[in-house]
Amino acid sequence: MPVNVEALRDEFPVLERVAYLNAGTDGPLPAVAAQAGAHELLGEARRGRAAEHFKRRRELSEELRGAYARALGCEPGEVALTTCTSEGLASVIDGLGLQEGEEILTSDEEHPGLLGALGAARALRGVSVRMVPLAEIAEAVGERTRLVACSHVSWMSGQVAPAALAELGVPVVLDGAQGVGAVPVDVRALGCDAYAGAGQKWLCGPDGLGMLYVAPALRERLEVSRRGYGNLLDPGAGLDARLHEDGRRFDTFALSAEALATALAAVELLERAGWRAVHERATTLAARLTELLAAAGRDTAPRGNSTLVSFSSPDPTAERARLAARGVVLREIPGRPLLRASVGAWNDERDLERLLAALRT
């Protein structure tokens, strides 16, 4: 069933005011999610925070893990709850314990969220990092390559990682910040060994929540140097405490009940709209925007079937500010002459027309 657009739009207060085309940064927050978070926090203020509170946090964590697993097409036990995409990527890249003489292959359009972890592997472990165009990455694997780490969907252009990555003999970790929630994700069909995603972007949750899928075979190989109450199976065992056996071993340490409840309400709202319909509508609308921009004389960066549309701008900083003043919210791509529109299932043709009209003035 297609998305009931008007009903979905009504859930997002920001859409009453502006053409919000910025989910690639932070998704629009549904009112129901903000209410769920506020409800949780007020309850804590009234009841205090003792044993019941910690039980509640654990319950919410498991519910959210289940919802994230459904969005990724895997089992809840294969998913860790993180604070953001970058944290999940760092856990995998650091956990592999690569050494001097070994190489990580990546693309030349990655986000600092991935580049930070790659830079750390280079600075702290002497690992070499080689960059190639995203479209050519599968063919560029060499003898020294021990990991391929790249975007599922590029944040700069909206290009999609090549399907050939599924056939590689080396581990692949995908940066799914612009993937999960935006486009269909099935980690097994993608053939990746790990997939890190964000809760605050296309899943419309609060800042401070993300997810990490790790395939069972890779899970065994990753060292987990960061251990604490949040990822230990038997924390009471002190120095002998063991890590959780499943994906929970990569869990971050301290997620609040209010953040968990907000994220859960948001992802459940999108689930009710239907993932297939949400993806279909968003990618179709993004393709429509590409046509409208072309007709308006704006070049778009080569993209895939995604929800991001990056287009030429003579002065991205000034134009972004001008668009914001006209109620159109999007972002610029640093260092490139591009503005980027993020198109979600909650957007409609009027949002696109508002962008086009603002670009003309």
Ligand X SMILES: Cc1ncc(COP(=O)(O)O)c(C=O)c1O
180: β partners:
183
In this complex, which beta carbon is closest to ligand X, that of residue 8 or of residue 209?
209
In the complex, least distance from residue 179 CB atom to ligand X, rounded to whole angstroms: 8
CB of 44 to ligand X, least distance (A): 25
Calpha distance 148→209 (Å, rounded): 24
Radius of gyration of the chain (CA): 21
Closer by beta carbon to ligand X, 27 or else 230: 27
The CB-of-202 to ligand X minimum distance in angstroms stands at: 10
HSE value, Cβ hemisphere, 13 Å, CA-based, for 77? 4
Tokens encoding 55:
């039980």
Closest contact distance (angstroms) between CB of 62 and ligand X is 21
Other beta carbons less than 10 A from residue 291's beta carbon: 11
Q: What are phi and psi of 315, to 5 degrees?
A: -145, 85
Residue type for position 4: N
Question: Which chain residues interact with ligand X by CB under 6 A?
Answer: 84-86, 111, 113-114, 151, 155, 175, 177-178, 198, 210
Q: How far is the CB of 1 from ligand X (least distance, A)?
A: 30
Listed in sequence order, the residues at least 6 apart from 48 whose beta carbon sits closer than 8 Å to its beta carbon are none
Write the CB contacts of 257 (distance below 8 Å, at least 6 apart in sequence).
Answer: 40, 41, 44, 53, 56, 57, 60
Of 61 and 348, nearer to ligand X (C-beta) is 61
Minimum CB separation from ligand X for residue 184, in Å?
17
Nearer to ligand X, 70 or 111 (CB): 111
Q: Quote the least distance from Cβ 198 to ligand X, whole Å.
A: 4
Least Å distance, CB 178 to ligand X, is 5
CB nearer to ligand X: give 134 or 177: 177
Nearer to ligand X, 200 or 283 (CB): 200
d(CA 63, CA 58): 9
Residue 85 or 159 with smaller CB distance to ligand X: 85
For residues 101 and 112, which CB has a smaller minimum distance to ligand X in the complex?
Answer: 112
Closest CB to ligand X belongs to which residue? 113
What are the phi and psi torsion angles at 105 (to 5°)? -100, 130
Nearest of 11, 21, 14 to residue 349 by alpha carbon: 21
User: Is 48 exposed, middle or buried, given 0-12, 13-18 or 19+ CB atoms closer than 10 A?
Assistant: exposed
302, amino acid identity? P
Tokens of 196: 């890190």
Place of tokens 């654990």: 58
Query: Cα–Cα distances in Å, from 130 out to 85, 107, 225?
Result: 21, 8, 26
